[in-house]
Amino acid sequence: MRRGFMLSVCRGVFVCSVLAGSGCAMKPVDSFTLEVDLPANFRFKSDAAYRPATGEICTLPKRRGKRPEDKVFDTVGKPVANRVSFEVPLTETVDGCPLVLRSITFDMYAKWGERSTDIGGDFAFINVLDRLEEGMAGMPESGVQKLPGRCQWLFRTVGPKRAISKVLKCNSLDAVGNLRKARAGGAVQRDELKDKTLRMALEVTTEEWPYMGDNWVRFPQGWKRCMGKSLEDQYAFCRGNTTDFKSIKMPDGRECDIYPTCAE
């Protein structure tokens, strides 16, 4: 049983990159280096999905729970910005069926405060295509393809005491650094990746915005929460009323009239 498990582990280069010295020393011929630049206090759990190659007639059986054809790898959050790196196979064979890498999904988590519950999450997605669509940028001559992204904290109030909470949102950037509507990640061409480096570089902006529109009014000192229908109205849309507001509860317990400064 133990031996079978180790043989299964050795097939996944993600695990091999972590378990150095476990006997998994061979690097697959058809692989590439995946690098992820993470802001401070960011971590992720990722899933690389392998499916039958285009034109293959074999199919994978339906499964419940874990899929042996998917590769999963984790990172540990650090208090400083850091880069993590993995060797990713481009192909795999499961139950005699030739598979190719189709996508990589990143479930990202980050801390926005000191409490254990002060955590937000979002996900990034890399689509691995047979061919890129016209106009999409491919692998440069440097051999390092970059997928830049920017994350931002969106604040909101929760519960009858209107406690501040935050939501993480990560989007991709275009070639000149402008924010795109698409989530972080992007699309790459599979046959351009062999022995190359794919780098998803994430940054986080210090500027925060409301999670929803028409809930807050901006002032020079910060944002005020609209009154809505009453103090008990948790949705509290402004609907043109920009003079009546209600207090909020800060993460440190203070009751304030304006976020984030608490100062008029």
Residue-wise pLDDT for 126-174, tens only, equals 999 999 888 788 899 999 999 999 999 999 999 999 999 999 999 999 9
Does 6 map to a domain? no
Query: Is 103 domain-assigned?
Result: yes
Written as one letter, the residue type at 90 is L
Residue pointed to by tokens 């598979």 = 99
CA 205-197-173 angle, to 5 degrees, is 30
Is 180 contained in some domain? yes
Q: Please indicate, yes or no, whether residues 230 and 184 belong to a single structural domain of this protein.
A: no
In this predicted structure, what is the pLDDT of residue 5?
34
Identify whether the C-beta of residue 148 lies closer than 8 Å to the C-beta of residue 159: no
How does DSSP classify residue 214? T
How far CA 239 is from CA of 156, 177, 223, 226, 227, in Å, comes to 17, 34, 16, 9, 10
Q: Tell me what the mean pLDDT of segment 207-211 comes to.
A: 96
Per DSSP, helices labelled H in the chain are: 2-11, 13-18
The tally of domains found in the chain comes to: 2
pLDDT, tens digit, for every residue of 54-103? 888 888 777 665 666 688 888 888 999 999 999 999 999 888 889 999 99
The pTM for the full model equals: 0.82
Question: Is 148 within 8 Å of 199 (Cβ atoms)?
Answer: no
Q: Is residue 233 part of a domain?
A: yes
Cα(first)–Cα(last) distance of the chain, in Å?
A: 66
Q: What integer pLDDT is reported at residue 133 of this predicted model?
A: 83
| Domain ranges, residue 239 | 212-260
In a domain, 222, yes or no: yes
Domain shared by 234 and 161, yes or no: no
Q: Which tokens hold the place of 205? A: 């902006």
110/220 same-domain check: no
Query: Is residue 154 domain-shared with residue 254, that is, in the same domain?
Result: no
225 and 193 fall within a common domain = no
Q: What is the pLDDT of residues 219-248, one digit of tens each?
A: 999 999 999 999 999 899 999 999 999 999
How confident is the model over 115-126, as a mean pLDDT? 94
Query: Closest Cα to residue 157, out of 263, 244, 237, 241?
Result: 237
Confidence of residue 176 (pLDDT cuts 50, 70, 90): confident
**Cα distance between residue 236 and residue 117, in whole Å:** 24
Rounded CA separation 87/41 (Å):
23
Q: What is the pLDDT of residue 138?
A: 85
Contacts of 179 (CB under 8 A, 6+ apart): 150, 171, 173
